[in-house]
């Protein structure tokens, strides 16, 4: 109450609602302020719907946009892949991908965004054990990507799809002692016999085997320092949990794999920076 609703505040509000899986509320806010919806606010809305497991609503919003960007496509693809609707996700992203003949005519940003969309589908295909879609998506990333890190990540995911595994792997393909599991709004690192859980935007509370705990000031400072070093503004639970694991002296994994294949673009970029060596 009393907060002036601008494009910036609406975008921030929608993002916050997405962090807590309040997609229906986010949709209501967007409908109440249609004059404030722009490219950025639509990204926040689609992400909120994706994080709330509302793929039909995300698809409806996307179809109602006059000139959606590839980023909006990727957000909608994320919503579909989370629910295992992989063929629909492939069809959607294919609408803006004109095939091999057009690759050289695309800008680096366009190719990067398309590759990111196919990476999202690839992660979903691994999660839902769909080898056919995984192979298709891996081939598309290889075709489009200009970055070695993305191609490495696609190769590792493709190997996981073939093996039916969702373990964290190191550079040699060996299993790591650290696992990171992702649920809606919560991420859990498994260190030894302890399951340590974090929620988004909370650098104070955490849980050990379900029992509430409080981070010490030194650990909070070290985690904040890592988040700042990674350079992306969001404090989603997967990055907080990964920062905590690294502060415990665990080795850097090559692949971040979780039980909810989608993640926001900022987290995706950070995970590649952190884990691909």
What are the residue ranges of helices labelled H in the chain?
Answer: 7-19, 23-32, 39-51, 55-63, 70-82, 86-94, 108-127, 131-144, 148-163, 217-230, 237-247, 265-275
Give the pLDDT confidence of 210-265 residue by residue, as tens digits.
888 888 888 888 888 888 877 666 677 878 888 888 887 655 433 334 444 455 65
- Please give the share of the chain, as a percent, with pLDDT higher than 70: 68
Q: What is the largest CA-CA distance in the chain?
A: 56
- The first and second tokens of residue 34, run together, are 């249609």
Query: Looking at residue 191, what is its pLDDT?
Result: 73
The dihedral through the CA atoms of 42, 45, 47, 50 has a sign that is negative
Domains of the chain in sequence order: 7-163 (1.25.40), 178-275 (no CATH)
Q: How confident is the model at residue 158 (pLDDT cuts 50, 70, 90)?
A: low
Mean per-residue pLDDT of the chain: 76
- Report the alpha-carbon distance of residue 36 to residue 5 in Å, rounded: 8
- Report the alpha-carbon distance of residue 51 to residue 215 in Å, rounded: 26
Neighbours of 42 (CB within 10 A): 22
- Report the alpha-carbon distance of residue 80 to residue 83 in Å, rounded: 6
Give the pLDDT confidence of 13-68 residue by residue, as tens digits.
998 898 888 999 999 999 999 999 999 999 999 999 998 999 999 999 999 998 89
- Please give the share of the chain, as a percent, with pLDDT higher than 90: 25
Q: Which neighbouring-strand residues pair with 188?
A: 181, 197
């Amino acid at each position: 109450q009393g907060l002036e609703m601008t494009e910036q505040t609406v975008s921030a509000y929608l993002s916050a609602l997405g962090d807590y899986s309040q997609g229906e509320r986010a949709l209501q806010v967007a409908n109440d302020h249609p004059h404030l919806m722009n490219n950025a606010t639509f990204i926040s809305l689609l992400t909120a719907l994706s994080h709330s497991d509302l793929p039909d609503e995300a698809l409806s919003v996307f179809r109602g946009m006059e000139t959606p960007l590839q980023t909006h496509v990727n957000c909608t693809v994320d919503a579909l892949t989370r629910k295992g609707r992989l063929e629909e996700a492939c069809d959607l992203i294919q609408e803006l991908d004109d095939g091999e003949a057009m690759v050289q005519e695309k800008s680096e940003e366009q190719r990067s965004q398309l590759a990111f969309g196919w990476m999202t589908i690839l992660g979903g295909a691994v999660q839902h054990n769909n080898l056919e879609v995984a192979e298709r998506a891996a081939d598309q990333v290889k075709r489009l990507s200009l970055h070695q890190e993305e191609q490495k990540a696609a190769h590792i995911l493709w190997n996981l799809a073939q093996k039916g595994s969702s373990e964290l792997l190191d550079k040699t393909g060996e299993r790591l002692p650290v696992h990171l599991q992702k649920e809606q709004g919560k991420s859990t690192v498994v260190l030894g016999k302890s399951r340590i859980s974090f929620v988004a935007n909370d650098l104070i509370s955490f849980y050990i085997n379900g029992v509430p705990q409080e981070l010490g000031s030194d650990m909070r400072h070290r985690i904040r320092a890592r988040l700042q070093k990674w350079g992306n503004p969001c404090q989603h639970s997967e990055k907080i949990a990964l920062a905590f694991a690294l502060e415990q002296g665990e080795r850097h994994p090559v692949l971040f794999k979780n039980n909810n294949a989608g993640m926001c673009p900022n987290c995706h970029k950070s995970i590649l920076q952190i884990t691909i060596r």
